[in-house]
Amino acid sequence: MTQATSTPIKAQNQPWFLQLWFYVLVAMAVGVALGQFYPSLGAKMQPLGDAFIKAIRVVIAPIIFCSVVHGIASMANMAKVGRVALKALIYFEVLTTVALIIGLVAVNVFRPGVGMNVDLSHIDTSSLTPYLTQTHKQTTEEFLLNIIPNTFVGAFAEGNVLQVLYVAVLCGFALSWLGEKAKPLTTLIDVATEMLFRIVAIVMWAAPIGAFGAIAFTVGKFGSGSLLSLGQLLISFYLTCLIFVFGVLWPIAHWCGFSLPKLIRYIWEELLIVFATTSSETVLPRMIAKMQAAGCEQSVVGLVIPTGYSFNLDGTCLYLATAAVFLAQATNTPLTIEHQIGLLLVLLLASKGAAGVAGAAFVVLAATLASVGTIPVESVALILGIHRLMSEGLTPTNLVGNAVATIVVAKWEGALDEDKLHRVLDRKA
């Protein structure tokens, strides 16, 4: 895996004007200008962003499968897999709970919806139909049962990250127990992993086009009007995301002995891409490669990154807490402390159902309001127009949270090459 994982590091040795992040920034600037001055044309650029996301999704399931299978099959101690998974889940649950609490506190302090006095009878909810039809109160049993695919191939066909992870863990254990007999297949999977990362490297050169299309569509369709009408909500939400990143993740990074600003600089290209496309799935393969290149063992990265995409959505938790209380404030719906604690408990489970796909958080929000029944579910129409703009804050937060989680769990497990991590973050690799 040395070739595949070294690709992101090599790119850093190029002149800044030849690096991917520069092209993405230029494309985003052009997209903003097009959406601002020619909104109707900008809104038609959405297929470019959607095409890029689809091109990346094609390889996500195979990369997760190959990375996890090879990582587990190469481990001598099978108990380590269970320890890594348990430590990761404990960390995820603690951090997402903290994110929900911060979101609730911040929205009660900033109070962006107070004074809006929205009358729901005057709100057009026809645009909510596609989202409301997807809402479903998911029980714990249904969530856990959904991790097991109906068929082996079905996990890959549906693109469910947790189902692919489940199949990969089983295959990894099986190959490990086969011993020497499994070496030819393990070698083949390793080569397949390198091939898939090369495919990602090729597809990523279309990232500027995807970023251009996504940003042009966002600005063209939701631009200035949405920003002005609900600007206070957007500002308070972005501030909340910054409070979490620098008030929670930075101390954790410092405690673990690495610099969060340097880590953000290391994944700068990925942050720009998820900001533009509002989908963290677009950089999942690159995050696996970069975390391995930063000194985290392959087996740990293969488990933590894919699992974190469902269980460690810090930005999504901030969004759900902020949006839910904002809607209560805007519609003058009484929401006591007891109601908010109950909402937090529901969101702890509901947030786990929002993968890194654009729009999933909005569906989860609608489903949560429908299941709780305290806040009118029709009120989500208020933020439908700016959901994508809020997603531009929550997806980078999710990404930074998962990058920190990978390093923390790797260090916790003794599977982190700290010298290599510091060399990479200091650009001395």
CATH number at residue 83: 1.10.3860.10
pLDDT of residue 373: 76
pLDDT of residue 136: 55
Q: Is residue 226 predicted with pLDDT exceeding 60?
A: no
237: CB partners within 8 A, 6+ apart: 318, 319, 322, 390, 393
Angle 46-73/183-203 helices, nearest 10 degrees? 160
Give residue 76's pLDDT band: very low, low, confident or very high (50, 70, 90): low
Domain extent for 13: 2-425
* Residue 15: half-sphere exposure toward Cβ, Cα within 13 Å: 2
pLDDT of residue 6: 42
Burial class (CB in 10 A: 0-12, 13-18, 19+), 348: middle
Cβ-based neighbour number of residue 98 at 10 Å? 16
Contact (CB, 8 A) for 138 and 367:
yes
pLDDT above 70 as % of the chain: 87
- Mean pLDDT (whole number) for 340-355: 76
Q: Is residue 348 predicted with pLDDT exceeding 50?
A: yes
pLDDT of residue 128: 60
- Mean pLDDT (whole number) for 33-42: 90
Give residue 227's pLDDT band: very low, low, confident or very high (50, 70, 90): low
pLDDT of residue 134: 55
At 102-125, the pLDDT tens digits run 999 999 999 988 887 777 766 665
* Residue 97: half-sphere exposure toward Cβ, Cα within 13 Å: 9
- Mean pLDDT (whole number) for 393-411: 95
Q: Is residue 361 predicted with pLDDT exceeding 60?
A: yes
What is the pTM for the complete model shown?
Answer: 0.83
* DSSP bridge pairs for 416: 296
Give residue 248's pLDDT band: very low, low, confident or very high (50, 70, 90): very high
pLDDT of residue 322: 93
pLDDT of residue 3: 41
Q: Is residue 278 predicted with pLDDT exceeding 80?
A: yes
Give residue 8's pLDDT band: very low, low, confident or very high (50, 70, 90): very low
Report how far residue 428's alpha carbon sits from residue 421's, in angstroms, rounded to the nearest whole number. 10
pLDDT of residue 366: 81
Q: Is residue 1 predicted with pLDDT exceeding 70?
A: no
Angle, CA of 32, 35 and 40, to the nearest 5°: 170
Mean pLDDT of the chain: 85
Give residue 399's pLDDT band: very low, low, confident or very high (50, 70, 90): very high
Residue 12 backbone phi and psi in degrees, to 5? -70, -20
Q: Which residue has the higher pLDDT, 9 or 346?
A: 346
- Count of the separate structural domains present in the chain: 1
Least confident of 35-44, 51-60, 156-165, 215-224: 215-224
Highest mean pLDDT of the ranges 65-79, 124-138, 391-405 = 391-405
Q: Is residue 302 predicted with pLDDT exceeding 70?
A: yes
Highest mean pLDDT of the ranges 122-131, 171-180, 254-263 = 254-263
Distances in Å between the Cα of 38 and the Cα atoms of 35, 44, 219, 220, 374 are 5, 10, 10, 7, 41
pLDDT of residue 341: 87
DSSP, residue by residue, 249-304: IHHHHHHTTS-HHHHHHHTHHHHHHHHHHS-GGGGHHHHHHHHHHTTB-HHHHHHH
Cβ-based neighbour number of residue 184 at 10 Å? 9
pLDDT of residue 13: 61
Tokens matching residue 318: 């901030």
